[in-house]
């Protein structure tokens, strides 16, 4: 019995002086006021894993685009090239006629985006502030048209645009955007609809008491407060128009438009990059050599660099806008 007491006393004696089970549990599992180490570790592991999945293709593309043909053939070189071989970007930009394609991309994506922001804001405000017969039916049709695949209406739309002589013209994108039928316009209308519903009704009523009409209250009160929603819609819309290669070829820049050389875009040039590269080599005395993976990756980087730069400059405002669009009003 005495030996047992001595062993117990020795065990207590040799425990760390500041060890506390409650503090250890609070540190690992957290409490109401503080997040635990285990939960934080799980979150960071998930975020790093998801970030790696998204960043891996971009890093691989950037690394490969800077490799020479010798680096591509060298099995010992995986990620870091022996030297920064910028000639790939020069060859890709010449084949794609980069600056001309970039100018056309800005026009093709920018004009319908600006029109769509204005139109969707106006339609969303009407749905949020006015009650009229058939409103729920129209909202249901709006949701149904968003769910409906684009491929279903693609050919009938092409026939309609052909009759109105819109094929090969920018109005093939601008006119639907003006009528609230642009690319993904339905979700943008719903974003404005939800945001304008959060604007306090008391502000609108006070403006009406002061003599402001519906249009004035929209332009002076509701629209200025919708800056977060406008920024979100603008960024999403320009990205979708920028990356849309199939509809751009079908309606504006394709061979069947009759104006195949009038308009183009970076994604269209990238989609046909191999054929464009071969045609450039045949039609120019200063040939670019044989195409390889590095040149293809350089062309891909050139097509997404404008969007990456735009997001880098507007990331702060974009995140703030996403947060503010969730603020509840009266």
For the stretch 137-146, pLDDT in tens is: 988 888 888 8
Residue 327 confidence (pLDDT) above 50: no
pLDDT score, position 329: 41
pLDDT score, position 275: 81
Q: Which two tokens stand for residue 17?
A: 């002086």
Average pLDDT of the chain is 81
What is the arithmetic mean of pLDDT over 84-106?
89
Q: Report which DSSP code applies to 80.
A: S
Among 1.10.10.350, 1.10.357.10, 3.50.50.60, 1.10.3720.10, name the CATH number for the domain at 92-324.
1.10.3720.10
- Please state the pTM of the whole predicted model: 0.79
Contacts of 241 (CB under 8 A, 6+ apart): 108, 109, 112, 113, 173, 182, 183
Q: How many C-beta atoms surround the C-beta of residue 256 within 10 A? A: 12
* CATH 1.10.3720.10 intervals, the chain: 92-324
In whole angstroms, give the CA distance from residue 221 to residue 162.
Answer: 41
pLDDT digits (tens, 9 = 90+) for 267-304: 888 888 888 888 777 766 666 777 888 888 999 999 99
pLDDT score, position 68: 86
In whole angstroms, give the CA distance from residue 232 to residue 322.
Answer: 7
- Predicted confidence band at 107 (pLDDT cuts at 50, 70, 90)? very high
What is the arithmetic mean of pLDDT over 154-183?
89
What is the arithmetic mean of pLDDT over 71-86?
84
Give me the torsion for CA of 17, 21, 23, 27, rounded to 10°. Answer: 120
DSSP sequence for 135-187 = HHHHHHHHHHHHHS-HHHHHHHHHHHHHHTT-TTSTHHHHHHHHTT-STTHHH
């Amino acid at each position: 019995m005495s030996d047992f007491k001595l062993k117990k006393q020795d065990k207590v004696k040799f425990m760390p002086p500041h060890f506390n089970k409650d503090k250890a549990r609070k540190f690992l599992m957290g409490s109401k006021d503080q997040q635990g180490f285990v939960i934080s570790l799980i979150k960071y592991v998930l975020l790093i894993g998801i970030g790696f999945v998204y960043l891996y293709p971009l890093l691989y593309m950037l690394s490969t685009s800077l490799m020479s043909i010798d680096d591509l053939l060298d099995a010992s070189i995986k990620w870091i090239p022996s030297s920064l071989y910028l000639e790939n970007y020069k060859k890709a930009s010449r084949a794609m006629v980069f600056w001309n394609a970039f100018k056309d991309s800005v026009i093709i994506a920018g004009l319908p985006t600006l029109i769509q922001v204005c139109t969707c804001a106006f339609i969303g405000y009407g749905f949020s502030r006015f009650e009229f017969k058939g409103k729920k039916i129209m909202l249901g049709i709006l949701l149904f048209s968003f769910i409906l695949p684009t491929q279903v209406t693609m050919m009938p739309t092409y026939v309609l645009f052909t009759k109105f002589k819109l094929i090969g013209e920018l109005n093939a994108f601008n006119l639907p955007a003006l009528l609230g039928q642009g690319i993904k316009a339905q979700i943008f209308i719903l974003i404005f609809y939800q945001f304008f519903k959060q604007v306090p009704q008391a502000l609108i009523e006070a403006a009406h008491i002061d003599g402001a009409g519906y249009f004035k209250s929209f332009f002076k009160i509701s629209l200025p407060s919708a800056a977060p929603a406008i920024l979100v819609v603008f960024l999403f819309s320009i990205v979708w128009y920028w990356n849309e290669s199939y509809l751009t070829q079908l309606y504006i820049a394709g061979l069947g438009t009759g104006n195949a050389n009038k308009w183009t875009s970076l994604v269209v040039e990238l989609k046909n990059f191999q054929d464009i590269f071969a045609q450039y080599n045949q039609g120019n005395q200063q040939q670019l050599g044989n195409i390889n993976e590095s040149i293809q990756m350089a062309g891909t980087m050139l097509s997404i660099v404008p969007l990456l730069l735009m997001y880098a400059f507007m990331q702060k405002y974009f995140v703030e806008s996403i947060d503010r669009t969730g603020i509840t009003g009266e």
